[in-house]
Amino acid sequence: FVEGAAVKRVGDFPGCTYCYPEVASVGKTERALKDEGIEYKVGKFPYQALGKAQASGETEGFVKILFGKKYGEVLGAHIIGENATDLISEMGLALSLEATIDDIHATIHAHPTLAEAIHEATLDADGHAIHF
């Protein structure tokens, strides 16, 4: 890395698998959170409910985001589907900035895009998903 640069947490580095469908993740997994005894909530949204995925014929996949139960901080994210390896960057940024579920709720996601699944997953974590 670069001398003088801020040290990054290893968990903040996204993992990307270039296969079909693409697979990407950043941060903690549910198993790690359970093993560490961390209370969390899950938001999940399927690609099949996205207009962009329907239009492109790429409806296989989902976005899953893990949030701290008490403060709503992003703990991890997992995406399987078209452009997952691109979409995971938003979640890496959320981890680096210690963003919360409310921060993502407040972020406007263009329509129709695959990135809408991130917004919808945050809504699902609070029981307010609009399209599924």
User: Does 122 have pLDDT greater than 60?
Assistant: yes
**What does pTM read for this prediction?**
0.92
CATH number at residue 65: 3.30.390.30
Beta strand 40-46 with 23-27 is: unpaired
Mean pLDDT score, 81-92: 98
Higher pLDDT pick, 10 / 62? 62
Question: What was the pLDDT predicted at 7?
Answer: 55
Question: What was the pLDDT predicted at 12?
Answer: 80
Question: What was the pLDDT predicted at 46?
Answer: 98
Instruction: Determine, yes or no, domain membership for 21.
Output: yes
Distance CA 13, CA 32 (A): 16
Instruction: Determine, yes or no, domain membership for 104.
Output: yes
Tell me how many domains the chain contains: 1
User: Does 111 have pLDDT greater than 90?
Assistant: yes
Instruction: Determine, yes or no, domain membership for 81.
Output: yes
Q: Assign 106 to helix, strand or coil.
A: coil
User: Does 55 have pLDDT greater than 90?
Assistant: yes
Banded model confidence at residue 8, pLDDT cuts 50, 70, 90: low
Instruction: Determine, yes or no, domain membership for 48.
Output: yes
User: Does 36 have pLDDT greater than 70?
Assistant: yes
Instruction: Determine, yes or no, domain membership for 103.
Output: yes
Q: Which residues contact 74 (CB under 8 A, 6 or more apart)?
A: 27, 65, 66, 67, 91, 94, 95, 98, 99, 100, 101, 104
Instruction: Determine, yes or no, domain membership for 7.
Output: no
Asked whether 115 and 104 are in contact (CB, 8 A), the reply is no
Task: Give the range of the structural domain holding residue 84, as residue numbers without chain letter.
Answer: 15-125
Instruction: Determine, yes or no, domain membership for 3.
Output: no
Active site residues: 111
